[in-house]
Amino acid sequence: MKNVKCPCCGAAMKRNGKTKAGSQRWRCRGCGASRTVRYDDEAARLREFAEWLLSKESQADMPGRGRTFRRRTAPFWRIWPMPDVVDEVHRVVFVDGIWVARDAVVLIACTERRVLSWHLARAETSAAWRSLLSRIAPPDMVVTDGGGGFAKAVAAEWPGTKVQRCLFHVFYQVRRQTTTRPKLQAGIELYALAKELLHIGTLRQADWWVERFMQWCDFWADSLEEKSLADGRLVYTHERLRKARRGLAALVRAGTMFAYLDPALAAEGPLPATNNAIEGGVNAQLRAVLRNHRGLSTPKRVKAVFWWCCAHVECPKDARAILEEMPTDADIDLLRAEYGVDAEDVGAPKKWGEGLVWEELHHRARYPCSTE
Is 285 a domain residue?
Answer: no
Q: Is residue 22 located within the same domain as residue 171? A: no
Is 362 a domain residue?
Answer: no
Whether the Cβ atoms of residue 143 and residue 161 lie closer than 8 Å to each other: no
Q: Domain limits at 14?
A: 1-39
Is 291 a domain residue?
Answer: no
Give the predicted TM-score (pTM) of the model.
0.80
Q: Is residue 25 located within the same domain as residue 97? A: no
Report pLDDT digits (tens) over 42-74: 898 999 999 999 999 888 888 777 888 888 889
Q: Is residue 18 located within the same domain as residue 63? A: no
Q: Does pLDDT of 199 surpass 90?
A: yes
Is 323 a domain residue?
Answer: no
Which among 52, 78, 104 is the end of a domain?
78
pLDDT band at 370 (very low <50, low <70, confident <90, very high): very low
Which among 78, 101, 129 is the end of a domain?
78
* pLDDT reported for residue 340: 58
Is 346 a domain residue?
Answer: no
Q: Is residue 55 located within the same domain as residue 183? A: no
Report pLDDT digits (tens) over 68-101: 888 888 999 999 999 999 999 999 999 999 999 9
Q: Is residue 149 located within the same domain as residue 253? A: yes
If one counts the domains in the chain, the total is: 3
Q: Is residue 122 located within the same domain as residue 255? A: yes
Q: Does pLDDT of 152 surpass 90?
A: yes
Q: What is the mean pLDDT of residues 314-339?
A: 87
* pLDDT reported for residue 366: 53
Q: Is residue 102 located within the same domain as residue 201? A: yes
